[in-house]
């Protein structure tokens, strides 16, 4: 299996999709328990949601599932949110804190090393290469990392998650104009709520690549799945009408980010 898909574009904006993949190699599938095989923590349909919103962006998508290895976690295993419930480089549980591996079949340190080599590293190699290619064209590159999550997950956060969860690691990962424009559009979107650097401040991808002083900017958008799914439970069906309403605002965000990027000077 190819562990990533790349579509090269000419826009300064790169869309990253680390969590939409659902492919699991047979030997790993055999180790997942019944709950794990639901693949419930997928960012369902996110690449479909963003398709066609921007003219000619570059896209980099992991095809493997996050239960194989999480492409948005630090390869060292360091927690993104120390002291808070979260899932690691290879999750031991799902987002509800329930086991996903059969008894005695949880990944070992040796498994982690192999999966870093065969999945995590190739995906990030492709992403890094596209960032450099786009930067060589425009002098800048903006990585917009695309995510979604169920709106209610007590194990991870209290209450309902806002619809738009914007992450810039407290303003460190992108030019202030990119953050401000994204927040302004999300805040003005009728019928939706939003937050900046709330429960989700940007994953490892955003924090690792987002270095504005080098001309590389990164921002994460974590969408509540209630904004575009018919139900946040199996079969996790795409709600075309709800998605179309959301896409209006996502298009505005991406278009504005592209305009800002084209105006940035190194």
pLDDT in tens, 6-59: 999 999 999 999 999 999 999 999 999 999 999 999 999 999 999 999 999 999
pLDDT category at 133 given cuts 50, 70, 90 is very high
Q: Rounded mean pLDDT of the chain? A: 95
Name the β-bridge partners of 15.
59, 144
70/213 Cα distance (integer angstroms): 27
Which helix (H) or strand (E) element contains residue 18? none
261/263 Cα distance (integer angstroms): 5
Q: What is the pLDDT of residue 142?
A: 98
Q: What is the pLDDT of residue 79?
A: 55
Q: What is the pLDDT of residue 82?
A: 60
- One of 3.90.1530.30, 3.40.630.40, 3.40.50.300, 3.30.930.10 is the CATH number of 4-263, namely 3.40.630.40
> Taking residues 156-185, what's their average pLDDT?
97
Query: Over 80: is that where the pLDDT of 1 sits?
Result: no
145/38 Cα distance (integer angstroms): 24
Name the β-bridge partners of 13.
142
Q: Mind listing the pLDDT tens digit for each residue in 88-117?
A: 799 999 999 999 999 999 999 999 999 999
Name the β-bridge partners of 253.
none
Pick from 100, 134, 149, 125: nearest CA to 3: 125
* Strand order from edge to edge, sheet including 164-167: 4-7, 58-62, 13-17, 141-149, 216-224, 164-167, 194-196
Query: Over 80: is that where the pLDDT of 84 sits?
Result: no
């Amino acid at each position: 299996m190819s562990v990533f898909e790349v579509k090269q574009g000419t826009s300064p904006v790169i869309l990253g999709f680390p969590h939409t993949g659902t492919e699991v190699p047979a030997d790993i599938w055999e180790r997942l328990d019944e709950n794990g095989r639901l693949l419930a923590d997928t960012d369902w349909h996110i690449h479909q949601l963003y398709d066609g919103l921007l003219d000619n962006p570059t896209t980099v998508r992991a095809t493997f599932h996050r239960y194989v290895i999480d492409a948005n976690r630090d390869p060292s295993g360091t927690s993104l949110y120390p002291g808070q419930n979260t899932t690691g480089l290879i999750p031991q549980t799902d987002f509800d804190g329930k086991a996903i591996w059969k008894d005695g079949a949880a990944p070992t340190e040796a498994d982690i090393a192999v999966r870093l080599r065969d999945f995590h590293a190739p995906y990030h190699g492709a992403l890094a290469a596209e960032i450099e290619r786009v930067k060589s064209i425009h002098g800048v590159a903006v990585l917009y990392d695309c995510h979604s999550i169920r709106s209610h997950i007590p194990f991870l956060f209290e209450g309902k998650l806002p619809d738009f969860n914007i992450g810039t690691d407290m303003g460190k990962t992108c030019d202030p104009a990119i953050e401000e424009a994204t927040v302004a559009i999300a805040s003005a979107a009728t019928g939706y709520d939003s937050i900046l650097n709330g429960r989700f401040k940007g994953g490892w991808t955003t924090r690792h690549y987002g270095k504005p002083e080098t001309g590389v900017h990164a921002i994460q958008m974590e969408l509540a799945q209630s904004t575009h799914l018919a139900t946040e439970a199996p079969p996790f069906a795409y709600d075309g009408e709800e998605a179309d309403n959301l896409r209006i605002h996502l298009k505005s965000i991406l278009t504005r980010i592209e305009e800002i990027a084209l105006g940035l000077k190194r």
